[in-house]
Amino acid sequence: MSMRRVSVFLGVIATVSACGGASTPADGSAEASSGGSSADGSTGTTGMTGGMTSATTADDATASADGSSSGGMTSSNDDAPPPVGFDLGGLPDVPEVACSANGKGGGGGIGAAELSYIWIANTYQQPNPTISKIDTVTMLEEGRYQAKPAGGDPSRTSVNLDGDVAVANRNGGVAKFYARESSCEESNGQPGIQTSTGSNDVLAWGEEECLAWYLPLACSSNRPLAWTRGEFSELTCAWENEKLWTVCDSEVLLLNGDTGEVEETILVPGSAFVYGGAADADGNFWGLNTGSGSIFRVDFESLELLSWPLGPNSGYGITVDPEGRPWTCGGGGASRFNIDDATWTVAGSSGIGGCMTDGVSTLWHSTGNGLLNGYDIESLEIVNTIQLPEYVHGISVDFQGNVWGVGFTTNNAHRADPMTGQVDTYSGLTSAYTYSDMTGLALNTAGGGGVPPN
């Protein structure tokens, strides 16, 4: 078998052999009580695919109080160290995989175009809330989809390694959508594939053929959502046997990723209000239970549930870092759960909402004034700061290494380059609200950290 060198960016293979062609380089208004921004805080203009503006770093640039851009974006901390670069490095020679075109995403989901999207929930769009599919390179919205037949309440999204997305409705119900039109299937009786092409092209429920499946759930709270990686097949050049974790009130559900069927049900003991969830590299589910003030882990193989008290910060969002350690964010900063001794280490003293690592060494979290703080995941020192035009509630990192912030019920998503400080804004959303693994990078770079002492 021939051998070749592949480059890597943020731990993701950026050059793929013939897997579907050339790849692209690599809950409710009461849910947040502080740090929100006004709805008119968008920047730029909005057209058929939404508006986009760009602000480049300048020493004397500031952001105006109403959220509009005035010059470039810059750190508010003059003493902060310069931005930390990424070690692109490389991977050892690997066997070349002869991948053929297939109907499940192509490209193996590693550095492929399907993973160049961020999926954001337009939670308060009326009458039917939607989710938006935005190209992270071009910042164009390429699709918008209803999250439920009627009366949806979407918030968290989760992207698997084929690039497909699942969205949970907080009032119950999970839907999966394909990222690639070639994966979509005829279902509405009309010739060809009917699917959304942008923000002003939302198809009615039952007409959208890139909906893979929908699982109705009777829940008062259906928030957490987290894919497992599954196994990569060299035969089909796709990820197979992917599972999806979600929580319906006090029950953790493990779903079949291909069909949406509930395969396992695990009861969360005691008071349960599970606010967020994430999966590690081994497929184990980490849940943030604000009802009992605890973090818990469901073992993917045995389904055993173990729990530990939360740290000094109650937590709001949750993610897993490359070492397999879960982090909770919000309620006063970011906290790392140390696997070896089940203790907590706290970074920062402010900020709510979500957080995510860059897949290498930095955890990103936002403060109430729109400042993005980058914390070293080992020392917990601030190693980078970026000022955004407004407070952002959701944080995600794309496969190009950019940090995204989603405004709190605004129409804006901001993309920040941690190397240059440049901030680009997409202003075509509709009352958005999302914080979770919106790109799939967290799943791709999460480690497996073992079992903490209990």
Structural domains in the chain plus CATH codes = 3-27+43-445 (2.130.10.10)
Contact 426/51 with Cβ under 8 angstroms? yes
Inform me whether the pLDDT recorded for 323 exceeds 70: yes
Q: Which of 34-48, 141-155, 194-208 is predicted with the least confidence, judged by mean pLDDT? A: 34-48
Inform me whether the pLDDT recorded for 26 exceeds 70: no
- Residue 184's pLDDT is 97
- Residue 119's pLDDT is 98
- Gap between the Cα atoms of 376 and 311, Å rounded: 19
- Residue 238's pLDDT is 85
- Residue 54's pLDDT is 52
Query: Which amino acid does the sequence have at 256?
Result: N
Query: Which amino acid does the sequence have at 204?
Result: A
Inform me whether the pLDDT recorded for 446 exceeds 60: yes
- For residue 25 the two structure tokens come to 């380089």
Q: With 0-12 CB in 10 A as exposed, 13-18 as middle and 19+ as buried, what is 293?
A: middle
Q: How many CB atoms lie within 10 A of CB 8?
A: 17
Dihedral sign, CA of 204, 185, 199, 39? positive
Q: H-helix or E-strand containing 441?
A: helix 441-445
- For residue 279 the two structure tokens come to 């999966």
As a residue count, the chain comes to 454
Inform me whether the pLDDT recorded for 94 exceeds 90: no
Query: Which amino acid does the sequence have at 384?
Result: N
- Gap between the Cα atoms of 454 and 412, Å rounded: 42
To the question of pTM greater than 0.95 for the whole model, the response is no
- For residue 308 the two structure tokens come to 């530990």
Q: Which of 6-15, 230-239, 326-335 is predicted with the least confidence, judged by mean pLDDT? A: 6-15
- Residue 230's pLDDT is 96
Q: Quick one: pLDDT band at residue 53, thresholds 50, 70, 90?
A: low
* CA gyration radius, the chain: 20
- Gap between the Cα atoms of 437 and 427, Å rounded: 20
